[in-house]
A and B are shown apart, each in its own frame.
Chain A
């Protein structure tokens, strides 16, 4: 019998609908895969019963002759940044250990409403702060990929490292991610899968544990572009509970997928040719350009002059918002409390936060507190928000000359765990190509383009105009078809 875990979202949906197999068989197959992959540490909580219940509902609906829901029979992984009712949710932080939300996030509820089931909650960088999944309080996620003849554990990317590992190792056909500065796209690139961050406001942030509210966006991570389109349709949509949610209908992205790019212009931003870019990344970028030209697009060089300032602006804005958002973890209403003998209220706050937050989270709270403090606010925060305006303006101008932009997703392939952890700045530089689109709220996607000399995946990024997820998905699909990327990690776990 076919191994059902080799199927993606579309194949599972269609197979369940057409009666080729039962949804329950799919859920059981993925539950078994999850149970056998503890060495990857991708799951913080396993919820096989949730996946089975959704599968049984799909099978019952089909038996009753009902029209099946869009994700009926599809089990997915849920990044542990989404609050799930009755299922522990920690953001991979000690400060939320034991927290069981009495409510469901809008994005996860949307997925359940669409018929999906949950395989479990996925590990991540603590509070989504990191690019390698090494800041989780519950251990590193290990990438299923390895260099040849080398057992050194590699980073799955971050912060959605549990999601990227689960999908690339075949533990889930799709997973949710969140992207603040590249946390969907960079891990997707590192593990040879696809992932899209939609336009800011497409997916509700309600019930998603906040990192930097003006940047946080949820999105899907899956094996291919079509699966991303299907899953994003279910996740997105207006939500009155999020003041920044866009009151727009969700387009039927899957139905409008097309790889014909005739009449489209693809912009190649010259400022993304950074010093010291590895030759392999440069070659892949050129290959991507050729693929899109082959798909009928015209290639134009564009300029985004403020690109080099995006990363420093991000590392003011994101920590500033984080320092404010994370003020809620005080040991009073939920989560950890550390009350030293004889301590007063202020001491309890400080002790709780010292014991509960990891090093990177503390680092960012401190940076954020510093740049927002009296006397520094204008020089740092206001200046960064002005630079952000200039970065958004750069994109607006570039999109006067082209429809989508093509860049590499990350400046390198996956690095080894531990390799960059000692130097926070070196780690931050991982997001150099993904952060600008985040600052401008633009839809952006990573698709696998090829392998480097060590056989590790490399990704290409497509950035689109506001609300033009369709243009991004279509260009992504055009690349996907031409790249013919089928490499999968060999199971060693």
Chain B
């Protein structure tokens, strides 16, 4: 499995991680190695096998439709890198 730098850059962009040209060059063979090793899974005959969804059988529960939390805005915002007037602030977005 070979991964080229263009692929690395594309994945990094999907993952929202800024990388330099140098990073991409370093990461390409590294990711290629790992993905190549992972590819041995293709050998396994999984015809008719259901993909795992829960390791231990468990029933999904429903809770009562009531408000049981809230009113803690300031507490939730105390770790914000930047907040104003009770809002998280971000750079201007122009699409």
Contact = CB atoms under 8 A, between A and B. Distances in A.
A425 B37 contact: yes
Interface in B36-77: 37-44, 46, 49-56, 58, 60-61, 63, 72, 75-76
Given A99-B79, A240-B61, A244-B58, A353 B16 contact: yes
A350 B50 contact: no
Contact of B17 (A201, A333, A350, A466): A350
B79 A425 contact: no
Contact of B18 (A354, A371, A467): A354
B15 A369 contact: yes
A386 B46 contact: yes
Contacts of B76: 102, 333
Given A343-B91, A346-B16, A366-B17, A392 B55 contact: yes
A313 interface: yes
Contact of B34 (A102, A315, A379): A315
A353 B38 contact: no
Given A366-B12, A383-B42, A344 B27 contact: no
Interface residues of A, number: 70
Contact of B55 (A214, A243, A332, A344): A214
A102 B72 contact: yes
Given A339-B91, A344-B93, A367-B34, A373 B14 contact: yes
Interface in A326-376: 327, 330-337, 339, 343-351, 353-354, 357, 362-363, 365-367, 369-371, 373
A440 interface: yes
Contacts of A309: 40-41, 43-44
Nearest to B46: A386
B85 interface: no
A335 B78 CA distance: 11
A102 to B, nearest CB: 4
A332 B80 contact: yes
B38 A345 contact: no
A466 B19 CA distance: 43
A166 interface: no
Given A366-B15, A383-B44, A389 B49 contact: yes
Given A353-B17, A373-B11, A390-B46, A363 B55 contact: no
B52 A388 contact: yes
B19 to A, nearest CB: 7
Nearest to A376: B35
A325 B35 CA distance: 21
Nearest to B15: A369
Contacts of B39: 312
A313 B31 contact: no
Interface of B: 7-8, 11-19, 27, 30-31, 33-35, 37-44, 46, 49-56, 58, 60-61, 63, 72, 75-76, 78-82, 88, 90-94
Interface of A: 98-100, 102, 199-201, 214, 240, 243-244, 246-247, 306, 309, 312-313, 315-316, 323, 327, 330-337, 339, 343-351, 353-354, 357, 362-363, 365-367, 369-371, 373, 379-380, 382-390, 392, 424-425, 439-441, 466-467
For the complex of A and B, list the 5 residue pairs with the smallest distance between their C-beta atoms, beginning with the closest: A441-B55, A385-B51, A337-B81, A334-B79, A386-B46
Given A335-B79, A354-B19, 20 more contacts: A99-B79, A102-B75, A246-B56, A309-B40, A312-B39, A330-B16, A337-B82, A344-B93, A350-B13, A353-B17, A366-B17, A367-B31, A370-B7, A370-B31, A383-B46, A386-B44, A387-B41, A388-B52, A389-B49, A466-B56
